[in-house]
Amino acid sequence: MNTQLQAELNHKFGRTSKTKIKKVDSKMVIKYTRVSGKKQFDTNESIDNQNKTINEFANRYNLEIVASFGDTYESAKTDERKEFKRMIEFCKRSRGRISTILVYKMTRFSRTGGKAISIADELRTKYGIHIIAVTEPIDTSNSNGVLFQEMQLIFAKWDNVQRQQVTHAGLKSKYEQGEWCIAAPIGYDKIKINGESKIVLNDYGKKFRKAWEWKLQGYSNEQIIEMLAKIGIKTYKQRIFKIFKNPFYCGLISHGILDGKVVQGKHEPMVSKEDFFKINEIRLASTKYGVSHKTQNEGVPLKVFIECGDCGNPFTGYIVKAKQLYYYKCRRVGCKCNKSAKEMHKLFLDVLGQYQIKEALIEPLVWQLEHDYHESTKEASERELSLNKRLEEVNAGIQNLEEKYYVNSEMTREVFDRLMNKLLGDKQENVRLLTASAIQISNLCESLHEVAQLCLKITKLWLKGSINLKEKLQKLVFPEGIVYDRKNGAFRTPKINSVIAKIARLSGDLLLNEKGLNPFLLGQSLSAVRAGFEPAVRLPVRQFSKLFLSASQAPHHFFNGTQI
């Protein structure tokens, strides 16, 4: 091929990678500091230490800190933090000028795992902004550095989960013993008596006791509100309804941490159990309290899931009783965006049908997905082997050192302690890295077939499934819901489950091959988005296994009890 033809082909058909690692050539950086809670913020010098260490790092490498974010307490369990979001928005507005976000440790940046990896990847590939933890700096200008940083973020989430499990177990034990561990409900105060925490009725609660008596006498909630106002208790309909159906007020504790179990509390009841059960019209032996409230409606499974494209509010559903027809409408007063449920469901099935595959493609799809999975985890598997080998060496070193000290007396205690501490530190670090890099999916091929089966029957599953199945299925495929564009009379899908989108794209590529149209000759790769699809969230291939788990575990639940 001559040079002129090659240049023309490059100009017309050449494509560049969307996930290429970029780096802004700038000395301008920003910093982000935080602690987890107010008590920690008020009582220690962690923020000062973070600022000092980051400033020293910036000075050492001649970096100019042009903006600071954080300097407060924000939990890293979610990335919906005020200062964190402000920092991310600043980075996006400063495209091409900011090169780096400096943090003290990666745990200070985020503990959300996969979501944090996605944010870091978008900043790096789209805006050229890298994250550096100054106490554990990693060069993310290459794929190995990116992998190590993602391991740090995954380990940060794992560490958070471990802490939560310990905290959860302790809280559950206390609740099982009848102790209320969070803020006291209205009408009660939490006080300390002789160093022991107790929940007691306050003045509001003592006066509110009359409301239970009035309710038993047949007064309506509106009348009770007026009568309470006369004795100095101001309340409203929603609050009084919640109090009347809450078993806490008759001395019982019902909390999600107890997994449906109700226990006797140690606090003083506001009303007797007998009166509480009479008011709620249930028997003493029952464990369900209050009036049943039907939140689901078979006729409008897409309510709340659909968002209005004009104002961003979710849709609700209603029925025109005269015609016995269901409709969807935007919740915002005055928006006037509504559509019949029948038409809306047809549009949704059309969108869902784009992710349905043919049965003949299941085996080649499974083969390709399995191949992609092993390719995406190849680097991590090799690293895991290396870490295991190093761990064996460290364990052998520990055993040899103990033999030299305890058996042969070849060194002093001071030397032994120094060498042993180093080896134990190496062992701990290896175990941490192994835990962070472990990527395992049991019965991979079987799980892949189940995901493919889901895509094979995806429209039938939604059409014939129960209301619960419909809601779970649509949430699985479109995690953030869908947007109805009134002007075009069509749906937009802001985010798609990447594994299901991948299956649909591969299916389209395989069909092109059947027709003799090689996707590579069309300028596409197997990971290109097929025409007609909204873009799925673009993530590095190494995250494929994490996303695959969410999809592969879903079909077990979907197929149970569903006949297609």
pTM: 0.37
Q: What is the predicted pLDDT for the residue at 19? A: 53
9 CB neighbour count, 10 Å cutoff: 11
Q: What is the predicted pLDDT for the residue at 433? A: 80
Token readout for 376 is: 């995406």
Q: Are strands 325-330 and 338-340 parallel, antiparallel or unpaired?
A: antiparallel
Distance CA 316, CA 331 (A): 6
Distance CA 493, CA 189 (A): 47
Three-state secondary structure readout of 100-158: EEEECCHHHHCCCCHHHHHHHHHHHHHHCCEEEECCCCCCCCCHHHHHHHHHHHHHHHH
Q: What is the predicted pLDDT for the residue at 532? A: 36
* Per-residue pLDDT in tens (0 to 9) along the chain, 564 residues: 667 777 776 766 666 555 566 677 788 999 998 877 655 555 545 788 888 999 999 999 999 998 888 877 666 555 557 888 888 888 888 878 889 999 998 888 887 777 888 888 888 888 889 999 998 888 888 888 888 888 878 877 777 666 666 666 777 888 888 888 888 899 999 888 887 888 999 999 999 999 999 988 888 888 899 999 999 998 888 888 899 989 999 999 988 888 888 899 989 899 999 889 888 874 333 333 333 444 567 889 999 899 999 888 889 898 988 888 999 999 888 888 889 999 999 999 998 888 888 888 888 877 877 777 777 767 777 777 888 888 888 888 888 887 787 767 788 888 888 888 888 888 888 877 876 665 555 567 777 777 778 888 888 889 888 888 888 888 888 888 999 998 889 998 888 887 777 777 777 655 545 544 444 333 333 333 333 333 343 333 334 444 444 444 444 444 443 433
Q: What is the predicted pLDDT for the residue at 148? A: 82
Cα four-point dihedral sign 51, 56, 58, 64: positive
Q: What is the predicted pLDDT for the residue at 164? A: 66
β partners of residue 327? 318, 340
Q: How far apart are the first and last CA of the chain?
A: 55
